[in-house]
Amino acid sequence: MLLDLGCGDGHATAEHRSGGACVGIDLDAAVLAASPWRDRVTLVCGRAEQLPFADGSFRSILSGVAVPYMDIPKVAAELYRVCAPGATVCLSGHGMEFTLRELAQIRRPVPLVYRLYVLANGLCFHLTGRMFRFPFNRKRIESFQTAKSFARVMRRAGFTEVGIVPRSPLTVCAKKPLSSH
């Protein structure tokens, strides 16, 4: 079974289906409820930091640029938990260039403060492997990712065969080992 993390309306989830069972999870209940793909795939409202699935449920997990808006160390641990032995995970993120481009386009003070937070959080994640929530709205979290930060967080969660896909957006793929020692 495949899990699409941050699936939005489930369109990409339905495209990945190819005969097997697919589940999409997203925070936005309204988008999920209005999805035209509901009859083709299972769509679940929930947080990636607390996945509502049993241990070892998935053989494959994909995420198309939803991870930058999540607490990535917590998500990596949850993904490891719900992966079956030998499962693969591929997550796409935002490189620092994306954040710098957005920062350069800002003309008002409020978005500037938030973009500076995203930049600081991405640097913190790169240097320490840790993240922090936006101080003025504790529900929000966002960062940029680097190959180093992505690889480190996946290894810390227990994944092996961690590699960075050389394309844009920045993508990390990893495997859960067949056995844990």
The Cα–Cα gap between 139 and 149 comes to 22
Assigned CATH for 47-175: 3.40.50.150
Q: Record the pTM.
A: 0.90
Per residue of the chain (181 residues), give pLDDT as tens. 999 999 988 887 777 666 678 899 999 999 999 999 888 889 999 999 999 999 999 999 999 889 999 999 999 999 999 999 999 999 999 988 888 888 888 877 778 889 999 999 999 999 999 999 999 888 899 999 999 999 999 999 999 999 998 766 799 999 999 976 5
Are 156 and 76 spatial neighbours (Cβ–Cβ below 8 Å)?
yes
Per the CB < 8 A criterion, the answer to whether 66 and 10 are in contact is no
- Which structure tokens are listed for 111? 């978005």
Tell me the domain boundaries of the chain: 47-175
Give all strands of the β-sheet with 22-26 in edge-to-edge order.
42-45, 22-26, 2-5, 58-63, 83-92, 171-175, 160-165
